[in-house]
Amino acid sequence: MSRGSMYAKQFCQLCATICDDCATECEKFQDAHCQECAKFCRQCAEECAK
């Protein structure tokens, strides 16, 4: 992104998708570390979507 790559937007969209998918999987488990992972993955997905 900092170098103005023409692929930056596509890369960020892919990152957001991956983070969303990870969060969805982690949310299936009640373990604290899984829930925390899901939370951070959602935050990452939101940032990547920006």
Kindly report, residue by residue over 6-45, the tens digit of the pLDDT: 999 999 999 999 999 999 999 999 999 999 999 999 999 9
Q: Which residues of 11-48 are buried (b: 16+ CB within 10 A; e: fewer)?
A: eeeeebeebbebbeebeeeeeeeeeebbeebbebbeeb
What does the pLDDT read at residue 26?
A: 97
User: Does residue 1 register a pLDDT over 80?
Assistant: no
Spatial CB neighbours of 5, under 8 Å, sequence gap ≥ 6: 11
Give SS3 for 6. Answer: coil
Give the model's pLDDT for residue 37: 97
State the Cα–Cα distance between residues 19 and 22, nearest whole angstrom: 5
Q: pTM higher than 0.85 for the full model?
A: no
The predicted pLDDT at position 3 comes to 86
